[in-house]
Structure 1
Amino acid sequence: MTKIENVIFSGFTHTTVNHDPNAQRGDHGVVDIQLSAPGGDSHEFIGAVPHPTAEQFFAGAWSACYITALGLAASLKKVTLPADFAVDIQVDVGQAGPGWFLAAKFTVRLPGLDQDLAEKLVHAAHEICPYSKAVKGNIEVAVNVITA
Structure 2
Amino acid sequence: MPIQPIDVKYTAVATAEGGRDGRVATDDGRLDVVVNPPKELGGSGSGTNPEQLFAAGFSACFQSALGVVARRQKVDITGSRVTARVGIGGNGSGGFGLEVELAVSIPGTDEATAKQLAEAAHEVCPYSNATRGNIKVGLSVA
TM-score by length of 2: 0.65
Give the corresponding residue for 2:99: 103
- Structure 2 Cα separation of the partners of residues 84 and 117 of structure 1: 15
Question: Percent identity, aligned pairs only?
Answer: 40
Deviation at 1:94, TM superposition (A): 0.5
CA RMSD in angstroms, aligned pairs only = 2.0
Unaligned runs of 5+ in 1: 1-48
Alignment pair present for 1:141 and 2:114: no
Unaligned runs of 5+ in 2: 1-44
Bigger-Rg structure (1/2): 2
Which digits, 9 at most, give the CA deviation of each residue in 1:91-147, with x for residues without a partner?
A: 01111322311100111111221111111100111111111100001000111101x
Q: Which has the higher strand share?
A: 1
Which digits, 9 at most, give the CA deviation of each residue in 1:38-74, with x for residues without a partner?
A: xxxxxxxxxxx87211001011111111100000010
Q: Which has the higher helix share?
A: 2
Give the corresponding residue for 2:56: 60
Give the corresponding residue for 1:46: none
TM-score by length of 1: 0.62
- Structure 2 Cα separation of the partners of residues 110 and 118 of structure 1: 6
Q: Which has the higher contact order (CA 8 A, sep 6+)?
A: 1
Partners of 2:55 and 2:85 within 8 A in 1: yes
Displaced runs of 4+ in structure 1, greater than 3 A?
Answer: none
- Structure 2 Cα separation of the partners of residues 103 and 130 of structure 1: 16
Give the corresponding residue for 1:128: 124
